[in-house]
């Protein structure tokens, strides 16, 4: 997803106007802001394009409380929310698994015995 229309393909294809996805995203955010006023809930955003929203002014404008950039499989964000922890504004995640560590070690030791 390209929520603000900032990806290279979008800026190339429609450089002077807002993309369809960006228009729909802005409309959705306006609806969510109204619902937040009524029901007082938190908005957590992640996934493709989350990097576009990871600035405090963009978060405020779009009614976003927390942005998760990167792979969040190891971040138990729902547990943090359900148990009442205060979330940070932005999480930058990197997945480190046993397999990825083994691959990195093989690359680091390649050709050095």
Domain ranges of the chain: 8-109
pLDDT tens-place string over residues 15-68: 667 778 888 899 999 999 999 999 999 899 988 888 899 999 999 999 999 998
pTM of the predicted model as reported, rounded to 2 decimal places: 0.70
User: Which is nearest to 24 in space by CA: 62, 52, 65?
Assistant: 62
Residues 65-95 as b or e (16 or more Cβ within 10 Å = b): bbbbbeebeeeebeebbeeeeeeeebbebee
pLDDT of residue 80: 78
pLDDT of residue 113: 46
pLDDT tens-place string over residues 60-106: 999 999 998 877 655 677 777 778 888 889 888 776 666 666 665 55
3-state secondary structure of 44: strand
Contact 74, 41 (CB under 8 A): no
Contact 58, 52 (CB under 8 A): yes
């Amino acid at each position: 997803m390209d929520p603000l229309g900032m990806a290279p393909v979008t800026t190339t294809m429609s450089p002077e106007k807002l993309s369809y996805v960006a228009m729909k995203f802005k409309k959705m955010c306006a609806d969510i802001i109204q619902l937040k006023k009524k029901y007082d809930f938190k908005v957590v955003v992640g996934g493709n394009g989350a990097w576009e929203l990871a600035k405090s002014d963009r978060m405020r404008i779009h009614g976003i409380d927390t942005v998760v950039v990167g792979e969040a499989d190891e971040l138990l964000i729902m547990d943090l929310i359900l148990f009442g922890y205060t979330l940070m504004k932005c999480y930058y995640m990197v997945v480190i698994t046993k397999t990825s560590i083994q691959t990195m070690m093989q690359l680091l030791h390649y050709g050095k015995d």
